[in-house]
Structure 1
Amino acid sequence: MPADPRRAPHDWLDHDAGPVVRPYAMTQGRVAPAGDEFDLVAFVVATMPGAPPPPTLPPEHHAIVGAAWEPTSVVELASKLDLSLGVVRVLLGDLRSAGLISLYEPPAASQPHDVDVLKAVVNGLRAL
């Protein structure tokens, strides 16, 4: 079947996957989350799991709030939603600023590593 000559081909259309949205379009060109930095193993949880987010938010924000009804790590959330970590971090910053999610960092992630423990591990590995 010949292509319709009135319709121009689109470079951004992938016939197998559908329309492709670039990551910078989802984050509006931002590469860092709003507010304080957070660890990739931090747990994300929706502040009001039963209530839907405002309809003015983009679909990616809705997906994050929907997936965070139970505590989920940032890395696992990115994997579940098939989004890059950079995009998820920026979107989480937006949702945290809006009060729709909370981030909880495990104590080990926020404390510096004990150098003596690390040296003991290295010495133990060398002994093998």
Structure 2
Amino acid sequence: MPRDDQLWLDGESGPLVRPYAMTQGRTRPARPELDVVTQLLTSRRDLRSFSVEHEEILRLCVRPLSLAEVASYLDTPIVVVKVLVSDLIDQGQLTTDAKARMASPPDRAVLETVLEGLRRL
């Protein structure tokens, strides 16, 4: 008979906790402006009880990390991390650095010039 801690991990498929369970069934973040390069930083850590995933995000973000980095460290899909991060921002636990986001997409002509230069190498 397997031990309790073995019931939640399958060597081939990984953890058996599904993403919808982590987000309580939510599939859209409360903050749609979050993108993969949004910088996150823990602003405070209350003694409230959070989910394991929320606690891990707060622990990771004691130094600025992008949303993509957090998702990578947690080995969790981006959309799930966006939902969890939105929760923490709404509760005042995380802050974002809006300056780190691109104000506008780069000029296509500049990108094409860079690409041409790279091809010549």
TM-score by length of 1: 0.74
35-44 vs 20-29, greater mean Cα deviation: 35-44
Specify the SS of the correspondent of 1:110. coil
- When the two chains are superposed, the root-mean-square deviation of aligned CA atoms in Å is 2.6
Contact 1:67 1:77 (8 Å CA) reproduced: yes
- Is it true that 1:101 corresponds to 2:65 in the alignment? no
Matches within 5 A, 1:1-128: 3=1, 13-14=8-9, 16=11, 20-48=16-44, 51-55=45-49, 57-105=50-98, 106-107=100-101, 109-128=102-121
1:13/1:59 Cα in 2 relative to 1: closer, same or farther (>3 Å)? closer
For structure 2, the residue ranges without an aligned partner over 5 or more in a row are 2-6
| 1:87-116 alpha-carbon deviations (Å, 9 max, x no partner) | 111101111111110112424x23221122
Deviation by residue 1:38-93 (Cα, 9 ceiling, x = unmatched): 12011110112xx34511x2111111111111101111111222222121111011
- Any gaps of 5 or more consecutive residues in structure 1? 4-11
Change (3 A) 1:121 1:97: same
Name the larger-Rg structure.
1
Q: Quote the sequence identity (%).
A: 38
TM (norm. structure 2) is 0.78
CA distance in 1, matches of 2:73, 2:62: 13
**C-alpha offsets along residues 18-55 of structure 1, whole Å, 9 cap, x if unaligned?**
8621101111222221124212011110112xx34511
| Secondary structure, aligned partner of 1:112 | coil
Runs (4+) off by over 6 Å = none
CA spacing shift, 1:14–1:123, aligned 2, 3 Å: closer
Which one has the bigger helix percentage?
Answer: 2
